[in-house]
Structure 1
Amino acid sequence: MDHHPKFEASRFLGDKRTQLVYDLQSWDDDDVINEFVGLGVALCFSPDELPEARNRGYTLATPGKKRMHRAPRA
């Protein structure tokens, strides 16, 4: 996927509802990214690295991986 216009400088985007982080350089399904960005529950990380996302409790998303959707806390 190309970088989402709202997050042009970010490689990793997190979904606050599922605590999954998506690597935009390797993720192919644009609909998933557009869904949670459109709902306003997307999060980028600084520094923009996978260890920082894991530090915040996020897990790398893989195709077919599902988690229960929860209401984001913040």
Structure 2
Amino acid sequence: MDHHPKFEGFRFIGDKRTQLVYDLTTWADDDVINEFVDAGVGLGFGPDSLDEARNRGYTLATPGTKRMLRAPRA
């Protein structure tokens, strides 16, 4: 996937509603990323690493992974 314009400098983008993190270098489905970024619940991590995302409670998304949508905490 190409990087979303709002997150050009990021490799990992998290969905605040599901606590899933997406690796943009391997993720193929643009619609999933665009849906939560356009809803305003996307999150970039600093430093931009999977370890930082896991420290914040996020799990790496895999194709077919679904979670219940919750209201973002912040």
The two structures have a TM-score, normalised by structure 1, of 0.99
Give the counterpart letter for 1:19 in structure 2.
Q
Q: How many matched pairs?
A: 74
RMSD, aligned α-carbons:
0.3
Separation of aligned partners in 1, 2:46 and 2:65 = 24
What is the match of residue 53 of structure 1? 53
SS of corresponding position for 1:13:
strand
1:6 aligns with 2:6: yes
Q: Which amino acid aligns with 2:44?
A: C
Instruction: Summarize deviations over 1:48-74 as a string: whole Å, max 9, x none.
Output: 000000000000000000000000011
Q: Structure 1 CA distance, aligned partners of 2:29 and 2:3?
A: 12
Consecutive unaligned residues of structure 2, counting only runs of 5 or more, are none
Structure 2 residue aligned with 1:43: 43
Q: Which amino acid aligns with 2:57?
A: G
